[in-house]
Every structure is written in structure tokens, then in C-alpha cells.
Amino acid sequence: MSGYIEAVRGLACELLDLMAEGLWVPDRSVFSRLIRDDDSDSILRLNHYPPMPLLCKDKDSSSPCNHSKVGFGEHSDPQILTILRSNDVGGLQISLNDGAWVPVTPDPTAFCVNVGDLLQAMTNGRFVSVRHKALTNSYKSRMSMAYFAAPPLDARIAAPPEMVTPTKPALFRPFTWAEFKKAVYALRLGDSRLGLFRTEVDEHVG
């Protein structure tokens, strides 16, 4: 388990370095160093969604049965980045801008990478945290492993100076991971937390 955590942390750091490079931030490790820190608050979570068979109210009804239940409700991940791996059973769905839910095809040989709320704040909105949910399957168990890459609790979360300009002012005020984490636990799972940290300039813009 320790070896796996080390490997996915390395993957998360490599991805964050590439993101910084793609955003033309001179300090390539501006995001990843928060995860490499010895006091990083990153965690690994193992999820098991057992089969949840549903009984149709009317077996003779021509309407199809819904063979899925919500296993983990709609939300965005509060951390920086999530590295997710699952078995060959589907269930993960992501929300598009128009509100439509799209299933993610399961592939046990691949990783699914979710942008978290902190990365949205640190990139001044260039990367947007994805809302997603997990559904159970009526016939098969779904298992997943999620590595949530997070900074130290006292880390200051703010966009690099290169990403804040007169035409693109800061969308969020600086805050610490501890402050944001407290807000996460004070709200319901599906509530938006970043809205609590938006700047007044952004609120006036829209």
C-alpha cells in the first residue's frame, strides 16, 4: 500500500508539473511542491460498492427498471487532484456544463484524474473542478482506489502572480487548506465551497 501511494503521488506531481508548464508558470513545481511536502494532508481511500439489486414495484410494467442507486452523491473533490483507479464495473459519472451526466467507461488499466477545488483556485479558474457521482450496480461489486492529493493544512492557497492580470483578476481570495477543509465539513456534500472564497471583483463580474 505504501508503494502504491508513493507511485500515485509521483504521478500526481508529474501531472501538476506539466499543468504548470502548460500555463506558462515559470516555477514548474509551484503546485506539486504542496503534495511533496512532508506535512501534506493527502489521503488514499478504498471504496467498495456492493451490488444493490432493486425490486420493481410492478414486474408486469412495460417501463424499464432503474438498475442503479446512488452510491456516493454529487460533489466535487476539495483537494488539488484526485488519481482514481477502479475495477471493470461502471458507476462513475461526471457532470457537463449543461448539467447532463455522462458515464465514464471503466478501465482497470487506466487512471481517472479529477481536478479538485484547490487546483481551480490556484489556476485562477483555468482548470475547473469536476462534479461527479458514483452509482452502484445491481449485479456486480464496484471497487475503486482514490488518491486525494492535498497540501499541508497551513498551506496558503492562491494563484501564482503570472496567472493574475488586469484583464483576469483574482477570482478567489487567498485562504489556507485548513480554512477550506473546515468549510467543506460545515456544508453538505453537494454544496459549492469555492463560492465562499470568491473575491468581490468576481462577484460583480457575474
β-strands 156-157, 92-95: how paired? Answer: unpaired
Residue 156 is among the residues annotated as catalytic for this protein: no
Angle made by CA atoms 111, 44, 70, in degrees to the nearest 5: 70
Cell numbers 452510491 label which residue? 71
Report the C-alpha gap between 149 and 9 in whole angstroms: 7
Return all residues near 104 (Cβ < 8 A) that are at least 6 apart: 90, 92, 93, 94, 112
Q: Which residue among the candidates 36, 45, 126, 142 is catalytic per the annotation?
A: 142
Angle made by CA atoms 204, 78, 155, in degrees to the nearest 5: 90
Residues marked as catalytic:
142
